[in-house]
């Protein structure tokens, strides 16, 4: 039975070590914070009839906020996330912006989000979108097709500042679409 006693003592010691590690850790709980780009003012776009089509997002921009360092390293922030994926958020924003539009010709905008990030070196939010505006007619030929980058300064490198600056960049994108649609 002495071997049984040694085995039990060893197992008890191992269990105490594992449990002590759980009790004495100093790691604090960090809650995940979710951000959005806000809602547009539909009255700004009431003269344009535009439908928001599908947008896609490429790269690491799915839900976690992405920061670009001075050395072009992309850093994903695990505790700061977008409430919904950027492509869905952008489409929702455009649907709300152009909801009351009453233009002569109805257009549809679709596109790809190529960048949805904070540039830490320049302290600005960067939105790069490749988009296409087409008349909603049977011919469906492209009316406008281009790639544009919208930048807005951030006061600081925090998530709240990033979300606010990105809201401004998205607003500038909506205004650019409106200008393209009435050319």
Does 8 map to a domain?
Answer: no
Does 56 map to a domain?
Answer: yes
- Name the stretches of the chain with pLDDT < 70: 1-3, 10, 15-25, 103-105, 138-142, 183
pLDDT per position as a tens digit, 94-141: 999 988 777 666 889 999 999 999 999 999 999 999 999 988 776 656
Tell me how far apart the alpha carbons of residues 104 and 183 are, in angstroms, rounded to a whole number.
12
Residues sharing a CB contact under 8 Å with residue 80, sequence separation 6 or more, in sequence order: 32, 33, 35, 64, 65, 159, 162
Does 19 map to a domain?
Answer: no
Does 10 map to a domain?
Answer: no
Q: What is the pTM of this model?
A: 0.82
* Token output for 5: 């006693």
Q: What percent of the chain has pLDDT over 90?
A: 58
Burial class of residue 163, CB neighbours in 10 A (0-12, 13-18, 19+):
buried
Does 159 map to a domain?
Answer: yes
Tell me how far apart the alpha carbons of residues 171 and 41 are, in angstroms, rounded to a whole number.
9
DSSP assigned state of 70: T
Give the pLDDT of residue 116: 97
Domain that holds residue 108: 28-181
Residue 132 sits in a domain whose CATH number is 3.40.50.10610
Burial class of residue 17, CB neighbours in 10 A (0-12, 13-18, 19+):
exposed
Q: For the chain, what's the residue count? A: 183
Burial class of residue 63, CB neighbours in 10 A (0-12, 13-18, 19+):
middle
Helix runs in 34-155, H state only: 86-97
Residue 146: CB atoms within 10 Å: 13
Give the pLDDT of residue 55: 96
Return the half-sphere exposure (C-beta side, CA atoms, 13 A cut-off) of residue 161.
Answer: 13
Does 166 map to a domain?
Answer: yes
Give the pLDDT of residue 20: 61
Does 20 map to a domain?
Answer: no
Does 135 map to a domain?
Answer: yes
Total domains in the fold of the chain: 1
Three-state secondary structure call for residue 23: helix
């Amino acid at each position: 039975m002495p071997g049984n006693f040694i085995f039990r003592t060893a197992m008890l010691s191992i269990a105490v070590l594992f449990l002590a590690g759980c009790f004495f850790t100093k790691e604090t709980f960090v809650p995940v914070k979710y951000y959005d780009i806000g809602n547009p003012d539909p009255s700004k776009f009431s003269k344009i009839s535009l439908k928001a089509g599908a947008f896609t997002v490429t790269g690491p921009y799915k839900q976690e906020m992405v920061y670009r360092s001075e050395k072009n390293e992309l850093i994903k922030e695990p505790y700061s996330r977008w409430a919904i994926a950027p492509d869905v958020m952008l489409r929702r924003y455009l649907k709300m912006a152009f909801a009351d539009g009453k233009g002569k010709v109805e257009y549809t905008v679709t596109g790809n989000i190529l960048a949805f990030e904070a540039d830490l070196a320049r302290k600005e939010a960067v939105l790069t979108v490749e988009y296409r505006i087409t008349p909603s007619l049977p011919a469906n030929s492209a009316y406008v097709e281009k790639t544009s980058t919208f930048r807005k300064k951030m006061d600081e490198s925090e998530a709240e500042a990033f979300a606010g600056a990105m809201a401004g960049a998205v607003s500038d994108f909506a205004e650019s679409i409106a200008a393209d649609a009435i050319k």
